[in-house]
């Protein structure tokens, strides 16, 4: 893609939601827009701060003092969103005011691009009369789940709007069971807190002048159509973001690349890659079921055992000696891996994932079939897409060692899993078509760059 003309030497201010699964896609998008000639400023809370040395081409501005771990709890979605928006709004506004005062005539700020979970940025953009662009780093359907599943009780009766929206949904959207998703979230948080958050985020999206989504049209055609019906803003489905800036790492943890040489020694498509992303945690008992499921499957595995994965325990401590022996024979364990490189490696034949959206897209792009075990939030929605609509993965219903063995062998070697393996390959081809000249994401990216230049 070529750079645009003179007019777009403007500055884009990004607002980060400070968790790995959000930092990666935002910086990947920023890298792409920088390549199109825009100047980039990344504003972020001082918590899980992105490493500026990975991006010397950007300006990084922390908008808060160091936030203590006690204020933010990875996995407490509602609590974290509330705290971060409360703490960041004023400092972000002050920071924007300072930037606007010093504004460089050749490099004026043209808009604010914020993770929708940092909705306070749209409030600030409104006050400063700057365009705000909402960035959704997860599936497009999650935007519908805010709108349809968490309707604002002040607009219409809660139940009636939910039902009327659900009736309007196509079969595809109905099979995502957004209503059930709502029920699962309701048990975790007080309904009022969920409704309040829904109202705030939906109102920010309504005020935004564009919505950028990390998705591909062929994956979520119906959700995208519905979103376009609901919101006035232009929609840009320009994913997968990780293919926009494939060479840059944004990891908060050190990647252990030794696992690549281990993979080099394994047979093609023989290894199950196992990772539950950057936030999920499990009990010691659950960890043991995973470990024995892997050992008893009799297949090679590469497992990311991230610090913090087991609640209240040191990393390998809960694993029995006999399992560690199995690892020496047939496995490899690392604390954090270069995931995209692993998924692209010819020895990897399957991915056991929690179905975070980034992991889901990264797996699809490499044609790797998935074994899915969601833990919270949008992961349940992603599993429905992967296992029931796209059929490029199998759902693991229970974390129990015998069930795990059966599921792993079905995914990796048994004849029963052949259709899923085949479809995963087809989906990889479709993903490639989106990205090449004339493909849906390629065209949408060009439209996005032109749209921003028009501000
Ligand atoms: C969070 C939520 O849990 C998820 O549901 C939501 O969709 C996004 O935000 P996370 O749990 O970290 O994200 O999962 P995911 O979206 O898959 O993102 C993890 C990222 O970390 C991926 O880009 C993956 O490539 C990277 N990763 C993971 C590594 O680089 N190395 C690893 O060892 C593991």
Tens of pLDDT, residue by residue over 357-378, are 999 999 999 999 999 999 988 8
- The alpha carbons of the chain give a radius of gyration, in whole angstroms, of 22
Lowest-confidence segment of 10-19, 42-51, 317-326, 339-348 by average pLDDT: 317-326
* Token couple for 89: 């709004």
Nearest ligand 1 atom to the CA of 359 is 17
More confident position, 190 or 266: 266
Nearest CA to ligand 1 atom 8: 21
In this prediction, residue 180 has a pLDDT band, given cuts at 50, 70 and 90, of low
Q: Which of 176, 217, 230 is nearest to 378 (CA)?
A: 176
Kind of pairing between the strands at 271-275 and 301-304: parallel
CA-CA distance, 339 to 342, in Å (whole number)?
A: 5
- Residue 395 in contact with residue 404, Cβ under 8 Å? no
- Residue 396 in contact with residue 373, Cβ under 8 Å? yes
In this prediction, residue 327 has a pLDDT band, given cuts at 50, 70 and 90, of confident
In the chain, the largest separation of any two C-alpha atoms, in whole Å, equals 66
Residue 357 CA to ligand 1 centre (angstroms):
7
Q: Could you count the other beta carbons within 10 Å of the beta carbon of residue 447?
A: 14
Q: Which of 14, 182, 136, 16 is nearest to 85 (CA)?
A: 16
Q: Could you count the other beta carbons within 10 Å of the beta carbon of residue 152?
A: 16
In this prediction, residue 156 has a pLDDT band, given cuts at 50, 70 and 90, of very low
Q: Could you count the other beta carbons within 10 Å of the beta carbon of residue 172?
A: 15
CA-CA distance, 85 to 351, in Å (whole number)?
A: 34
pLDDT tens, residue by residue, 32-46 = 999 999 999 999 999
CB contact burial 174-194 (16+ within 10 A = b; e otherwise): eebbbbebbeebeeeeeeeeb
Q: Which of 343, 377, 376, 347 is nearest to 362 (CA)?
A: 343
Give me the pLDDT at residue 161, please: 44
**pLDDT greater than 70 at residue 50:** yes
Residue 353 CA to ligand 1 centre (angstroms):
10
CA-CA distance, 54 to 45, in Å (whole number)?
A: 18
**pLDDT greater than 50 at residue 8:** no
CA-CA distance, 369 to 417, in Å (whole number)?
A: 9
**pLDDT greater than 50 at residue 157:** no
CA-CA distance, 387 to 341, in Å (whole number)?
A: 24
Residue 356 CA to ligand 1 centre (angstroms):
6
pLDDT tens, residue by residue, 384-397 = 999 999 999 999 99
Give me the pLDDT at residue 182, please: 58
CA-CA distance, 104 to 148, in Å (whole number)?
A: 42
Sheet strands side by side (includes 271-275): 331-334, 301-304, 271-275, 348-353, 370-372, 393-395
Residue 21 CA to ligand 1 centre (angstroms):
4
Question: How far out from the chain centre does Cα 239 lie?
Answer: 11
**pLDDT greater than 60 at residue 185:** no
CA-CA distance, 59 to 417, in Å (whole number)?
A: 48
Best probe residue, ligand 1, of 359, 361, 370, 384 (max atoms within 8 Å of C-beta): 359
């Amino acid at each position: 893609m070529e750079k645009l003309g003179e007019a777009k030497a403007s500055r884009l201010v990004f607002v980060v939601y400070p968790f790995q699964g959000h930092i990666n896609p935002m910086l990947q998008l920023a890298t792409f827009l920088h390549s199109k000639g825009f100047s980039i400023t990344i504003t972020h809370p001082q918590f899980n701060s992105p490493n500026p040395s990975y991006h010397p081409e950007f300006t990084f501005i922390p908008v808060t003092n160091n936030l203590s771990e006690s204020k933010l709890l990875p996995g407490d979605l509602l609590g974290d969103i509330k705290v971060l928006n409360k703490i960041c709004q004023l400092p972000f506004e002050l920071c924007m005011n300072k930037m606007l005062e010093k504004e460089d005539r050749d490099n004026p700020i043209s808009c604010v691009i914020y993770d929708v979970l940092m909705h306070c940025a749209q409030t600030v953009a409104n006050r400063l009369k700057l365009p705000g662009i909402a960035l959704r780093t997860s599936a497009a359907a999650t935007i519908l789940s805010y709108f349809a599943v968490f309707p604002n009780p002040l607009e219409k009766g809660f139940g009636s709007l939910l039902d009327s929206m659900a009736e309007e949904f196509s079969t595809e959207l109905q099979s995502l069971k957004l209503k059930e998703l709502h029920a699962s979230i309701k048990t975790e948080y007080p309904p009022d807190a969920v409704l309040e958050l829904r109202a705030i985020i939906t109102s920010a999206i309504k005020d935004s002048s564009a919505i950028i989504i990390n998705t591909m049209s062929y994956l979520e055609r119906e959700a995208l159509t519905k979103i376009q019906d609901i919101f006035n803003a232009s929609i840009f489905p320009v994913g997968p973001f990780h293919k926009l800036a494939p060479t840059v790492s944004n990891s908060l943890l050190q990647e252990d690349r030794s696992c690549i040489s281990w993979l080099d020694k394994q047979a093609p498509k023989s290894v199950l890659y196992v990772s539950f992303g950057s936030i999920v945690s499990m009990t010691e008992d659950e960890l043991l079921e995973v470990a024995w499921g892997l050992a008893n499957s009799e297949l090679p595995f590469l497992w990311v055992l991230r610090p913090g994965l087991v609640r209240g325990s040191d990393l390998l401590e809960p694993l029995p000696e006999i399992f560690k022996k199995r690892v020496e024979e047939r496995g490899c364990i690392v604390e954090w891996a270069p995931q995209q490189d692993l998924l692209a490696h010819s020895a990897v034949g399957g991915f056991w994932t929690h179905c975070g959206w980034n992991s889901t897209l990264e797996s699809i792009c490499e044609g790797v079939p998935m074994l899915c075990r969601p833990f919270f939030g949008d992961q349940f929605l992603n599993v429905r897409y992967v296992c029931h609509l796209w059929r490029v993965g199998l759902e693991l219903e229970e974390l129990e060692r015998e069930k795990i063995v059966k599921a792993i062998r079905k995914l990796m070697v048994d004849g029963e899993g052949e259709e899923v393996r085949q479809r995963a390959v087809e989906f990889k081809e479709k993903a490639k078509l989106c990205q090449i000249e004339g493909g849906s994401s390629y065209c949408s990216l060009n439209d996005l760059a032109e749209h921003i230049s028009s501000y």
